[in-house]
Amino acid sequence: MKKLLIVAIVLLSTAGFAQSNKEDIEIIQSLYGKEKKAIVAEFIVLEGAQKDAFWKLYDEYETKRKELGKQRVALLEKYAANYATMDDATTDQVIKEMTSLGAKTDKLIATYYGKMKKSSGVKSAAQFVQIEAYVLSVVRASIMESIPFIGQLD
């Protein structure tokens, strides 16, 4: 997991330099996704039909997660671009978008937990949820440590 933490931090630090460059973001997400998948494969060990079903669903999940990740990067760019002049309306909109993305992410994980549970068993589905929760926590903490709080630089 420490290896994944390092990859997540690199992803976040590079994402700041890749503002508005969709191609760079896609490359970063691809590298991050491959590294993450290798770690998930070490943690979740399945065989036969369960393995095939799990990885098919995992790949579907990652495709949808990456789309949410792009939205998250766009929101961070919006926050950075507007930070110095954020009024109440802009602040409210950023917070609404942030909580909406969090809810969408949680719903996506729950949906794939259900699908994985049916095809690959409760244990592997639960391990998937644990890994995702860990990664999200690390990424979110890194982001929060990297950006100023609203009003902090006033």
Q: DSSP code of 147?
A: S
Within a domain: residue 152?
Answer: no
Residues 37-54, mean pLDDT to the nearest whole number: 92
Within a domain: residue 31?
Answer: yes
pLDDT digits (tens, 9 = 90+) for 57-114: 999 999 999 899 889 888 988 888 888 888 999 899 999 999 999 999 999 999 999 9
**Cα angle for residues 87, 92, 153 (degrees, 5° grid):** 50
Average of per-residue pLDDT values in the chain: 82
Q: What is the pLDDT of residue 104?
A: 97
Which residues form the domain of 73? 2-146
pTM of this prediction? 0.79
Within a domain: residue 48?
Answer: yes
Residues 121-131, mean pLDDT to the nearest whole number: 96
Within a domain: residue 10?
Answer: yes
Report the percent of the chain where pLDDT is more than 70: 77
Contact between 136 and 113 under an 8 Å Cβ cutoff? The reply is no
Number of separate domains in the chain: 1
- How many C-beta neighbours within 10 Å does residue 14 have? 15
121 vs 32, residue with greater confidence: 121
Within a domain: residue 53?
Answer: yes
What is the C-alpha separation between 134 and 88, in angstroms, rounded?
32
- Contacting residues for 3 by C-beta, under 8 A, at least 6 apart: 35, 39
Within a domain: residue 154?
Answer: no
